[in-house]
């Protein structure tokens, strides 16, 4: 990627982050720069990735627990979409767990401002989570994030993604065809939810209608979930991370070694980072 494009990406991410004020999205604390580096400082989210919880600690989750994490993600996407942001990078690794066990959407490096009715044609995201419209160049809307949510919910409940294949082209073919099968352990309500989210036809996809995220929240799989309590973070999380902040003791005899600080940011680019 040319340097100027990298600069634009960094500036855009900073602009997006500084406008986020949701319990379900990571929040920026401050920014800074020197002659060699740019710094984005985030509020700490110390519980690790949802990927680690599912892949290494608990394994595939029962539906009652998976529902909590899916609902947190819905609220995060709802907030981004309400602020005209297409996320484009939903995956287990980008969902961080805070000290109360709640999820926060992180890494807006490829997110994009996108107004209702607009489309983008850039090829972005993680292949397993890409919606068919990425692959057939039909133009991408906020609906692509709801497809990715379907992949995420499938993975949380099963331990694997629905379109996985040994070769990328085989996976892309499955995605375009909408060819997946649910484990027998999935409840009828979960199968129905996935059918709505993993709908190839964008206009018929759950979340793509005029009521947007409300379509997803009102699906029977979420029946009984107190969305207001969840939004206020009053609902008990199914798992609490063991988070303890310890002060690192000072070492009186630390040996120092010279390190490379990298190249200076060119003066021509520094102007783009004014007041960074």
**CATH number, domain at 99?**
1.10.510.10
227: in domain: yes
pLDDT digits (tens, 9 = 90+) for 186-207: 999 999 999 999 999 999 999 9
245: in domain: no
pLDDT score for 6: 64
In Å, how far are 114, 188, 190 from 184, measured between CA atoms?
Answer: 38, 10, 11
pLDDT score for 1: 46
21: in domain: no
pLDDT score for 268: 59
265: in domain: no
Domain count, the chain: 1
pLDDT digits (tens, 9 = 90+) for 133-179: 999 999 999 999 999 999 999 999 999 999 999 999 999 999 999 99
Our answer to whether residue 89 is catalytic in this structure is yes
**Domain coverage including residue 176:** 50-231
255: in domain: no
186: in domain: yes
The mean predicted confidence, pLDDT, of the chain is 89
Q: Around Cβ 136, how many Cβ atoms within 10 Å?
A: 12
- Strand partners for 104: 96
**Among 126, 138, 1, residue whose Cα is nearest residue 51:** 126
148: in domain: yes
133: in domain: yes
Higher pLDDT, 253 or 199: 199
pLDDT digits (tens, 9 = 90+) for 223-232: 999 999 999 9
pTM summary value: 0.86
Work out the average pLDDT over 222-251: 85
Which of 8, 82, 89, 98 is an active site residue?
Answer: 89
| Res. 31 pLDDT band, cuts 50 70 90 | confident
């Amino acid at each position: 990627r040319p340097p100027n494009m990298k600069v634009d990406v960094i500036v855009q991410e900073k602009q997006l982050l500084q406008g986020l004020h949701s319990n379900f999205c990571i929040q920026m604390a401050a920014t800074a720069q020197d002659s060699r580096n740019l710094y984005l400082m985030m509020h700490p989210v110390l519980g690790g990735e949802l990927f680690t919880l599912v892949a290494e600690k608990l394994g595939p989750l029962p539906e009652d627990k998976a529902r909590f994490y899916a609902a947190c993600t819905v609220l995060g996407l709802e907030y981004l979409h309400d602020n005209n942001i297409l996320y484009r990078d939903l995956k287990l690794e980008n969902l961080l767990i805070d000290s109360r066990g709640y999820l926060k959407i992180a890494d807006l490096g490829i997110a994009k401002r996108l107004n209702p009715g607009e489309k983008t044609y850039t090829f972005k995201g993680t292949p397993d989570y890409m919606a068919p419209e990425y692959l057939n160049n039909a133009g991408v809307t906020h609906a692509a994030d709801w497809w990715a949510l379907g992949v995420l919910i499938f993975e949380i409940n099963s331990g694997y993604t629905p379109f996985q294949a040994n070769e990328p082209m085989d996976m892309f073919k499955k995605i375009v065809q909408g060819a997946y099968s649910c484990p027998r352990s999935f409840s009828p309500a979960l199968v129905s939810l996935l059918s709505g989210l993993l709908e190839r036809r964008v206009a018929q996809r759950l979340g793509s209608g005029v009521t947007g995220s409300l379509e997803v929240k009102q699906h029977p799989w979420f029946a009984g979930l107190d969305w207001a309590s969840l939004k206020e973070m009053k609902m008990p999380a199914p798992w609490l991370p063991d988070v303890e902040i310890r002060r690192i003791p000072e070492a009186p005899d630390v040996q120092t070694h010279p390190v490379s600080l990298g190249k200076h940011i060119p003066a021509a680019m520094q102007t783009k980072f004014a007041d960074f």
